A and B are shown apart, each in its own frame.
Chain A
């Protein structure tokens, strides 16, 4: 078990998001809202283009923090969806995930997660409690 210190920054990871992955997430999650799948419909409701499910972005953040001690040890996890992740056709969009340790306890740590897409923060107040 590695030791953690408050203020420590965890190594970033870059997730690639594209239309194909949104289709796979839509099927797996059951959230088939067309704004995540269909450009015409997304634009018809005033969006710039197809956007990723907020829960897909949050799910990727969950995967990122799960690398510390496994999915089973993520005890609390929260985020605000502050900016959409826009996914144009035939484009790989980079989502840069990183985290800072904000609290260290005997058997757990708290993290603040940063999710950045095109230099814009897409998740706000993204936090996790991980049991160690």
Chain B
């Protein structure tokens, strides 16, 4: 169970992630995208997923029972190689529906304190 006190709290990932061209290329090619000058629109998930996972593991939820419910991206600046991204995660809500715990996490990606993208994920922890 998620501690209800954690809802609304923001956590900043300890380490920044420096984006390499190799990681953009591998991600783009996995999706069949040939243009590798900027990252594909969903690339941010490679940073936010790991950060949300860490955040929620610390919060006592069982990650092995997670299903991705939905995902949203608002992209202000395309991600390119060389960016150093930090991730700020906020648990926006947590509720129990039919025995499943549904947690909404907002994750902002920042480069030099400027917002690159905001992402929202709904994660369903099957009860």
Contact = CB atoms under 8 A, between A and B. Distances in A.
B111 to A, nearest CB: 15
Contact of A31 (B32, B35, B49): B49
Interface residues of B, number: 31
Interface stretch (A51-59, A98-106, A114-122): A51-59
Given A28-B29, A63-B40, A78 B72 contact: yes
A74 B39 CA distance: 11
Which of B32, B42, B50, B67 is packed against the most chain A CB atoms within 10 Å? B42
Contacts of A55: 42, 45, 49, 68, 71
A108 to B, nearest CB: 13
Contact of B71 (A15, A30, A70, A79): A79
B69 interface: yes
Given A58-B42, A62-B41, A63-B40, A71 B33 contact: yes
A70 B41 CA distance: 10
B30 A25 contact: yes
A79 B68 CA distance: 11
Interface residues on A, range: 20 to 34
Interface string B58-95: 00000000011111111100100000000000000000
Interface string A68-102: 00111011111111000000000000000000000
Nearest to B36: A71
B35 A70 contact: yes
A66 B70 contact: no
B26 interface: yes
A54 B68 contact: yes
B1 to A, nearest CB: 20
Contact of B41 (A21, A74, A80): A74
A62 B74 contact: no
Contacts of A79: 70-72
A70 to B, nearest CB: 6
A75 B70 contact: no
8 contacts: A24-B29, A27-B30, A28-B27, A29-B49, A31-B45, A55-B45, A72-B38, A78-B73
Sort A-B residue pairs by CB-CB distance and give the 3 closest, nearest first.
A78-B72, A74-B41, A28-B30
